[in-house]
Structure 1
């Protein structure tokens, strides 16, 4: 019996020992999967640029090396002083094979044209995490319009990965641990000479971005991903825009990323979830009813919605000709009839689907010419504005709005029309009055719960403001609790109004401003399902017809900044 007990104890001990050894082995093996960035990226060729001549050489080399993948890893660094951000000091660009250029903008007197051209080149993607933020800073600091920036988290979500930060993506996808110590991250990027640690840190951030991008794009060659995208199996690198263009210059949010994991799939549940964010915007009913409105002699004037058509009937201004499709004939001669292609545009039936991708499940009205400008247009340009109202799905609408911000910034510079910010708001807040109002409301509503010390402090705030009073009364508290804290800013100038005023003095007037926005929409969004006869010069063509028919005066033309039509 005693021998059996020893034998059992021996077996148990041996089993435990083997288990512990195995566990330790697995831990060590798991840890060996990860390497720190210094060891893993020791093959990098890093060139620091501080002169324009060096810049041209490095840019040419970057362009030569990025031809296969049409992308470079991208990042920026800057210094924050006393909570305020200084201009971007460093731009990092890296190719997949490990060639890294560190461009020290603070050491260069001007931004070299070669660097500017590469950053603004639409054919080369600048990949990283949150590159749209860096794009805003580059534009604000140096007037650089970064084009084709791409947040790699969009592609990570598309491939089924968790969209973490750059460090977590690098660890999970490349098995490399980046040094994200605050000592180097928040170091002096404007120093006369960058330290070895700074150089390696900056190059690593840009390089792992392009490495992750290539890895993710190549994952899309897997059959399951192709099935999701409903694409034929072909070389994905020669068709890179099919995957990436929809995300270019488009901000990534965790909320958006989680909800659009299956983007490209016809999934009604997904669309309902995304729509919750836009519950007040997303249409559940068709925008276009394609009812027909006829002149008294039966000539087709335009298509319209049910409500408008039936309004004419209810007011005894028209009669129903047919109910399916609903066709209404006016009893009076309209002010004008459809002339040429510009008139025929309003006669065409239109589809209720996104004009960019064709999604017909849910859509939002998109004002191609934003209301902040159009609201200042004369009435003659507000008529028939439906031409510039298009349908976009939720994702395309969000992407379009993000891209619009860049045009606003360009117009702000061109027209000396600053965008609204904390210091240029229509209304300004009186911080002192707000503090007094807050103190009064606390004393009125929470006096029983306030500690004595806090109560004394709040009363002191009130007496500092009401210097003619020596004690706090209920009447005083009630008066203070209703203080107005917002006042109209007399120095405020509307960005939209200043832009409109600028174009009124330019050749083409407000017609040109409309064309700027229409050209921008076509260039950025690449719509595949635009209404037939939709035109960049639509309003000009429409107004020329009215002018020729004598329904538009020279005075009206001058009100939109146009003259010289004959």
Structure 2
């Protein structure tokens, strides 16, 4: 028995040594600056809808699952993948025995074949996949692309260009469940339980050989992705598809970093907290988490081997300062030497949090309460509490009513001795001259009736008599590009609505805008290149101001992120690079803090009328494509009538536009 015990101890130590060596053997290949810039440029040019695959639904054939673990096999697979228009991609990662984790298997589906690429035995050869992932003519289809694209960049310096995400598609289609197995069942008739899928996800992907069960599971994760993209895109609107394009572009442009910042800490803590996160609790959590991350990186172990995140969250939310559970929570021998340091961090963090956020430890206000506060502020700031229509009468010399007006307009005539007061109630003036006015021949009689009828101060939808907002039936987005003739047709389309009705009307207005965007194939928020350049510059200016003001107070890791953003911005634009040649980064930051300097820098684009170029040119492009402008205007008026069903619409408005 004694010999057996010694043997078991020896085998345990040997296993530990082997695993330790294995951890050290894992190599990572970072993306070069040139790779990043080239990929970002390609991603920046992806602003059109996806090509949509159209393939039949067919079950997977086990004979078409190809396991790739030699350089020759990989080269053969790459030849086939390079000619594909669509590929499905999934990753199997393992992180139990390392800080960062590492990719063990890359699954790529094309046509009816799935390649299982062994990322351990071929680790030094995986970079040969770079041209495929950076090719904008090949659509890469992931399910939950954020992690997979970051892992590819972390391990092999691979940046993905032209990505579609079926999980984002599920969100766009408002599905309650977003798991891949849910989509398999809904669209493909393939059933896999969530429990089994979770078990397979957590299996030992780092061990070789992989079991037949693991290979089949891994192949399934990639096999249906191309079919799912095709069927889901057919159910989505143009706007929904473009929103996925924008989101995946944003994800793929994100540079991988090992830096643990507040943003990352917040995302992690949010997974364990159902309610709003208390600022004090978050401060304690983030400080301890950052410290433990450094230890985990130094020892090259997974953070969960040091502490359970759930326990750390509970500890950070403790109601008292005398934390007695520190030793219980941090019981791992890996950090036994750091208990005193951790206790000190917690104590310091609580004191600092109290100073910054006050003594109250209650949970933050709910979203509903915050939303109501914002709404009340909006009402107070923007709604009109007094009378909008003062209904003063203006008569021409023969005593005929010309129109109703407000006191401001009436006083303009009186101050110049162009009119005289006839009576006080209702306040009426008579002009001393014969006005020269013309009516639009299209709407002449209706226009006259509009001017000579008294207007009520009430919401035209519900009749409420206070808290008004003006509402344009034909949005300014389009109207500003009308010719004068058609601007005149919607001169009187500004109506009074209460705040609630105004909000509802805007929702229906947005729906029609989206329909127009789809019908005319012109994206909403379709800004020109000059506007994009201005937005980028002024966004970087905010970074510069933050750095300049908080140079001594902003955490070092946050400063690094901001400095990196500024450097990347300058490096990506040759004109800016030339302008700042010979200056150090802080000279550039101070210079960019000045708004006038930024405007001066924008002169590289020539003499630009920013009031025009700054605006979303969706409206301009739509107006240029409209064949019948009169019908376009009437469509907007009928949209308001049908969707809002106004009960207090002025008769003059109805007569003006021949609406029953």
- Bucket of the pairwise TM-score, normalised by the shorter protein: 0.3 to 0.5
TM-score by length of 2: 0.39
Q: What's the TM-score once normalised by structure 1's chain length? A: 0.44
